[in-house]
Amino acid sequence: MKRKLENLQNLVMIRKLIFFLFLLTACSNSTSQPRSTQIQPTKTNIPLTTIVSSPTVTADPPLNTPTPQSFPSPVAYGPDKFPDGYNPLTGQRVADPALLNIPALLISISHFPPAARPQAGLSFSPFVYEYFITEGATRYLSVFYGESPAPEIPLHGDCEIRGEPVPNTGNIIGNRVWYDQDQNGVQDAGEGGLGGICVDLLDANGTTLQQTTTDSNGYYGFRVESGSYIIKFEKPAWLEFAPKNMGDETADSDADPTTGKTDVVSITSSSFLFLDTGLITSPSLTHSRPFC
């Protein structure tokens, strides 16, 4: 009986010891584990440039809005009074006003036989008359004033030089193509026209309606009905277009330097004879110019 009582006491002591060890283990585990159950954010190494840089904003390209050119006020000259620097025989400005102090000259020019005596310099004369001398032969009587005749080699484009006149009926749209020697985009006195330049008439949508070429003096024209039109010039490879809209409407270049096209022009009940363009020598010229 006594032995059973001692065994029972020993069992109780063992159980108390086990329970005490269990408490120590539980306390140790509770102090080593964090109490918070919140999820800590994960840190990521983000480059500084990614944080501080802002998205690149691309600006819209500027709109190319045509600027209407002004027309000079009409001025009446003559018949015996002209401003300084103007030729009274042509009504045009001269390159050298001092030449107006030299009297006008009448020069008779023979052209027989044509192969032996080719004429040159007649384009410097405002008036050229052809008169009969004898036996079926004729001569030219030329008036020279304000410009000194000089040897010239006319420049021309890639198309055939137009020989027929522009029909003078209905509405006419057109003007001139000239060689802009000083490359300022303005038709200056003494700058000649370019023949053989291909010119197209387009509608407002860009559809080709008519085609022509410039004559030996650079003039062209289209007979049109009322409507909206675009003129397109075809430049030779050795030439470039002069700057656009550098002067008033009577002396500026109207073709876009990139496309060779003018702005849309509306024709109602009258002709529009102010669509011209200047051509300048290309800076990348590597071959000789074509001559007549």
Q: What is the pLDDT of residue 234?
A: 94
Q: Which residues contact 270 (CB under 8 A, 6 or more apart)?
A: 171
Following DSSP, what letter does each residue of 240-281 receive, concatenated? Answer: EEPPSS-S-TTTB--S-TTT-BPPPEEESSS-B----EEEEE
Helix/strand/coil percent split, the chain, to 5: 15, 25, 60
Residue 61 Cα to chain centre, angstroms = 16
Starting at the edge strand found earlier in the chain, the sheet holding 265-267 runs: 208-213, 198-203, 227-234, 265-267
Encode the chain (292 residues) as per-residue pLDDT tens digits: 555 455 555 555 666 555 555 544 544 444 444 433 333 444 444 343 333 444 444 444 444 444 556 666 767 776 777 788 888 888 888 888 999 999 999 988 887 776 666 677 777 888 899 888 887 788 889 999 988 777 666 788 889 998 888 777 778 999 999 999 889 988 888 788 899 999 999 999 999 999 999 998 899 999 998 899 999 999 998 899 999 988 778 888 999 999 999 999 988 877 888 889 999 988 776 555 554 4
Tokens 């079926």, located at residue: 136
Q: What is the pLDDT of residue 92?
A: 81
At 31, give phi and psi (nearest 5°): -80, -20
- The domain limits of the chain are 97-144, 171-281
Question: In terms of DSSP bridges, do strands 171-179 and 219-224 run parallel, antiparallel, or are they unpaired?
Answer: antiparallel
Per the omega criterion (within 30 degrees of 0), is the bond before 113 cis?
Answer: yes
Q: What is the pLDDT of residue 36?
A: 36
At 14, give phi and psi (nearest 5°): -65, -45
Q: What is the pLDDT of residue 210?
A: 94
- C-alpha triplet 276, 279, 280: angle, nearest 5°: 155
Q: What is the pLDDT of residue 228?
A: 92
If DSSP codes are grouped into helix, strand and coil, which group holds residue 159? coil
**8 Å CB contact between 224 and 201:** yes
Q: What span, in angstroms and rounded, lies between the C-alpha atoms of 233 and 80?
A: 39
Q: Which two tokens stand for residue 266?
A: 């509306």
| pTM, two decimal places | 0.61
Q: What is the pLDDT of residue 64?
A: 41
DSSP structural state of residue 90: T
Q: What is the pLDDT of residue 189?
A: 80
Q: Does CATH place domain 171-281 in 2.60.40.10?
A: yes
Q: What is the C-alpha R_g of the chain?
A: 46
